[in-house]
Structure 1
Amino acid sequence: MNIESLRNYCLSKAGAAESFPFGEETLVFKVGDKIFLLAGLSNPISFNAKCTPAWALELREKYAAVQPGYHMNKKHWNTVFYNQNLPNSLLTELIDHSYSLVFNSLPQKIQQQIHATISK
């Protein structure tokens, strides 16, 4: 996965939007104004994704390329160095998981608005 495929995959999520609120080196993806992924554009290429605490620890123990979230709550966020031979299926699973956690934490009204926009 490269940065363009990561970007396209994140933007394919319902209600996803991108911005650069922290400067041009960090691409941020949000749903309902809440961050679900931050992608660092400088080397080494990485992204921060939200994760359940138990799975975050399991991933960190299993993969050297998954570390506690840089500049984030380390209990709930991982930094993933995705150019280090992690399978694309795992990368997309981590993105999906992060998106789901954030989407499901949104107020019901916002979730319904997002669903309504994709139903059109």
Structure 2
Amino acid sequence: MDVERMQAHCLAKPGAWPDDPWGHEHPVIKVGPEGRAKIFAFLRADGVGIKAGSREVADEWLDRHPGRAHVMAYIGRSGWNDLSYDIPDDELLEAVDESYRLVVETLPRKHRPEGWDAG
């Protein structure tokens, strides 16, 4: 996996769009209308930050991938992890898909994108 492939996967999701709120090298990927959107992926050259679920669920990633999965600074207590692109592609894509689902479910129904699948 690399950042370009991950970005393409993220942007293929309904309602997803890139944003650069902090001037980093790679964008964050948001879902929802501007002004109400929420981040579901923090892209980096060497990995991606995702919402894994509860902290307990996020800790399972740390156990399965020591050295390749880390608690995200500042927001890790809320179940966010940094995952290295060294983790198998199928697991990374599944993690991003779950992050998208978890974040979309927090949006008010009127701000959820058409075509997203809750199931």
Q: Distance in 2 between matches of 1:26 and 1:74?
A: 23
Alignment length (residue pairs) = 109
Q: Secondary structure at the match of 1:5?
A: helix
Q: Identify the residue that residue 6 of structure 1 maps to in structure 2.
A: 6
Larger radius of gyration: 1
What letter corresponds to residue 92 of structure 2 in structure 1?
A: L
Cα displacement (A) at 1:108: 0.8
Q: How far apart are residue 73 of structure 1 and its match?
A: 3.2
Q: Secondary structure at 2:23's aligned position in 1?
A: coil
2:53 matched to which residue of 1?
52
Any unmatched runs of 5+ in structure 1?
A: none
TM-fit CA distance, 1:87: 1.1
Which residue in 2 is equivalent to 1:94?
Answer: 95
Residues 16-95 of structure 1 mapped to structure 2, 5 A cutoff: 16-32=16-32, 33-41=37-45, 45-53=46-54, 54-64=56-66, 65-82=68-85, 84=86, 86-95=87-96
Higher helix fraction (1 or 2) = 1
Does structure 2 conserve the Cα–Cα contact (< 8 Å) formed by 1:11 and 1:17?
yes
Classify the secondary structure of the residue corresponding to 2:13. Answer: coil
Runs of 4 or more, structure 1, over 3 Å off, are: none
Report the 3-state secondary structure (helix = DSSP H, G, I; strand = E; otherwise coil) of the residue aligned with 1:59. Answer: helix
Q: Distance in 2 between matches of 1:68 and 1:18?
A: 23
- Render the CA deviation track for 1:27-72: whole Å, top value 9, x for unaligned: 100001100011123xxx1211001122211111110211101342
RCO (CA 8 Å, sep 6+): is it higher in 1 or 2? Answer: 2
RMSD: 1.4
Q: Which amino acid aligns with 1:34?
A: K
- 2:18–2:30: 8 Å Cα contact kept in structure 1? yes
